[in-house]
Amino acid sequence: MQRNVDLSVPAFFQGRARHHYAPTEHSPAHWSRVFRVYKAVFDVVLSLMALPFILSLAAALLVLNPWLNPGPVFFTQERLGRHRRPFQVWKFRTMASAPEESGRSHEDGVEHHRITPLGRFLRRSRLDELPNFLNVLKGEMSVIGPRPDTSAHAEIYLREIPHYAYRYLVRPGITGLAQVEMGYAEGTAATSEKAHYDQLYVETSCGRLDVWIAWRTLFVMATGHGAK
């Protein structure tokens, strides 16, 4: 099983060592108490700072949605969190409702035909993910970590991708190493590569790496460069 992936992370921001874990372990043992406190404070502070932006954007969408994105402001979906515990993730809705009889396979890509004009802007700027900070405040997510997959798709990937289980050692994140390195993954092959980045994050995570991921995410949001 190949575990080496290309990184654009400068050496200074990378973890000093790689700590290997069995996918069945409960948490990354190399996380120091200082890093755990730092990560908790980082999550809470950024989430509280995000609340005014979430409320302001929600109010704007209430006005704009009837013309550009008809339907509810928010979208919720079941995802798997740390230790595979299911939770409801919150996002700003970007797609028109799907017919009840339609279903998506884990190999299917994004249904671009369902993305509304306003939804396209929200997705490209990553603003649709802002309500994820509500999940962070509830302790279901972290700011930095592997992106949570839908429960149905995750169950399939767990069977088909042996290293996929590493992501469940930590809380899922609003953004993560896989997102800044390769963006959206479609299908089993791309998801397997994404899971290598998630595994690398679990095994090398540190404060410097979290800072790099946060900066790269802000860069994408501000410029649109590298967004997928």
80-97 pLDDT, tens digit each:
999 999 999 999 999 987
Could you read off the pLDDT of 178-196 as tens digits, one per residue?
999 987 777 888 899 999 9
Q: What is the DSSP string of 159-222?
A: HH-GGGGGGGGS--EEE-HHHHHH----HHHHHHHHHHHHHHHHHH--HHHHHHHHHHHHHHHH
Torsion, Cα of 13, 16, 44, 168 (10° steps)? 110
Q: How confident is the model at residue 228 (pLDDT cuts 50, 70, 90)?
A: very low
pLDDT in tens, 31-61: 999 999 999 999 999 999 999 999 999 999 9
**Burial of residue 208, with CB atoms counted within 10 A of its CB: 0-12 exposed, 13-18 middle, 19 or more buried:** middle
Interval 126-153: pLDDT, tens: 899 999 999 999 999 999 999 999 888 8
Residue 151 is predicted with a pLDDT of 86
Residue 183: the pLDDT is 77
Answer yes or no: is pLDDT of 19 > 90: yes
The residue assigned the tokens 């279901």 is: 140
| Pairwise pLDDT comparison (4 vs 63), residue with the higher score | 63
Distance CA 57, CA 195 (A): 32
Query: Amino acid letter at 79?
Result: R
Model pTM? 0.88
What is residue 99's predicted lDDT score, i.e. its pLDDT? Answer: 57
- Cβ atoms of 187 and 109 within 8 Å: the answer is yes
What per-residue confidence (pLDDT) applies to 221?
Answer: 77
Helix (H, G, I), strand (E, B) or coil at 115: strand
Spans of all domains in the chain: 28-97+105-223
